[in-house]
Amino acid sequence: MGVPTLGCHCAVCESEDPLDKRTRPSVLLTYGGRNVVIDTTPDFRYQAMRARIDRLDAVLYTHAHADHILGLDDIRPYNLKQKGNVPIYGTRETLDTLKRQFAYIFDDTPTETSLPGVELHEINGPFELFGAKIVPVPAMHGPTPVLGFRIGGAAYLTDFSRVPESSKTLLQGLDDLILDALRYVPHPTHSNVEQSLALVQELKPKRAWFTHICHDLGHAETNARLPENVLLAYDGLQIEAAF
């Protein structure tokens, strides 16, 4: 929902600490002069301005929930500037949902305004993107299948409640694991702090970063309670990854 959460006046929502301001979860991968975004959140336009993204080369989708897709329409300036479609990658299920939620992009109704230009690519396993190997990491988010992504020594796994054993083998030997940890209280479709700490202990990345954090977790006080190599991620956090 983002922090501050609309209508809420709890200590975290009212906090003056900039690290307690959280837009919806997304990652920008920058390598070889390319910009690849994971998910287009409802905050995509603001995030792209903040990160000064001058070109957009591809979008990878984890899943098609509203907080991960609703910024898709805002890729239009990149279509116009780059004079072309932006390749988007997701599972068949995710692409089907995008086609439903953004029907106006995909039906052929004439329009007098611009539409987002996309080129759909179904993810069926690891693939190469602009010279980097992208390894999809399947997980379950309640009843919904989702993908995490591993690129070299870093992996991003948001919105999950269960990671199958076959995916745990894909998450060995990481330098950085960025993973969902919504809050302390258990949730039916998200990993909580205790469950995510257990997963970190099992997978043993050098560092772990919690993301998709709701307003139950204040930045400074939560970090103080976490093990040394586990930290809350924050808006604008930059990580250098080997790949």
Binding site for Zn ion (CB under 5 A): 5, 8, 10, 13, 65, 67, 159, 215
Structure tokens given for 204: 């043993």
**Among residues 116 and 218, whose Cβ is nearest to Zn ion?**
218
**Among residues 8 and 220, whose Cβ is nearest to Zn ion?**
8
**Among residues 8 and 80, whose Cβ is nearest to Zn ion?**
8
Question: From the CB of 144, what's the least distance to Zn ion, in Å?
Answer: 7
CA distance 147 to 91: 8
Question: From the CB of 131, what's the least distance to Zn ion, in Å?
Answer: 29
Question: From the CB of 41, what's the least distance to Zn ion, in Å?
Answer: 8
Q: Which amino acid is at 165?
A: E
Report helix, strand or coil for 18.
helix
Q: What is the DSSP string of 30-76?
A: EETTEEEEE---TTHHHHHHHTT-----EEE-S---HHHHTTGGGGH
Bridge partner list, 27? 38
**Among residues 93 and 175, whose Cβ is nearest to Zn ion?**
93
Question: From the CB of 36, what's the least distance to Zn ion, in Å?
Answer: 19
**Residue owning tokens 């999809």:** 136
